Amino acid sequence: MDGGARGNPGPAGIGVLLEDETGRREAYYGYLGSTTNNVAEYAALLVLLHRSLRRGAKQLTIHSDSELLVRQMLGEYRVKSPRLQRFHAAARRLMARIPNVSFLHVPREENREADRLANQAMDERHSSEPLPGDVAELLEARAQGSLSFGGES
């Protein structure tokens, strides 16, 4: 999974790639409008969790090149930004429905396919499918005046 923004904040997109134990793959890309890299990373995580639940996942290893997201989800870093706290809480709620979830921080080079999907979303300003409702609502809350400026972690 990957999320990115051009300009930070700027046009943002996500890429999610799921692969099951049989090697069957499912790709998703989503355009988020204007937001930050960190919000995009969390949006990618939420979409990945939704799609995993839809497939009935009982075990999930999440590969992400975002050290911040991985360390926050593992409880190693605090989530300081009120906006990111909402995304983090939503991710925790979804993760509670999957018995075995683990995170793996990977180098950018090992995340190229998800990065390509995120860039496709930003280039096309389009999503392969609509965003899940709760992800769209969290992004909309930002658009309705809850922007924060300065550092976001």
Does residue 148 lie in a domain region? no
| Within-domain flag for 149 | no
Closest of 91, 81, 94, 93 to residue 150, by C-alpha? 81
Query: 77: domain CATH number?
Result: 3.30.420.10
Does the reported pTM lie above 0.85?
yes
pLDDT tens for each residue of 98-125 = 999 999 999 999 999 999 999 999 999 9
* Pairing of β 100-105 and β 2-5: unpaired
Note whether residue 147 is domain-resident: no
Supply the pLDDT for residue 147. 41
pLDDT in tens, 79-94: 999 999 999 999 999 9
Q: What is the number of domains present in the chain? A: 1
Q: Decide: helix, strand or coil at residue 1.
A: coil
- In a domain, residue 49? The reply is yes
* Contact call for residues 128 and 27 (beta carbons, < 8 A): yes
Question: With contact defined as beta carbons under 8 Å apart, do 12 and 36 qualify?
Answer: yes
Residue 153 in any domain: the answer is: no
Asked if residue 52 is part of any domain, the answer here is yes
Nearest alpha-carbon partner for 58 in 16, 105, 95: 95
In terms of residue numbers, what domain contains 55? Answer: 2-142
What is d(CA 77, CA 88) in angstroms, rounded to the nearest whole number? Answer: 12
Within a domain: 150:
no
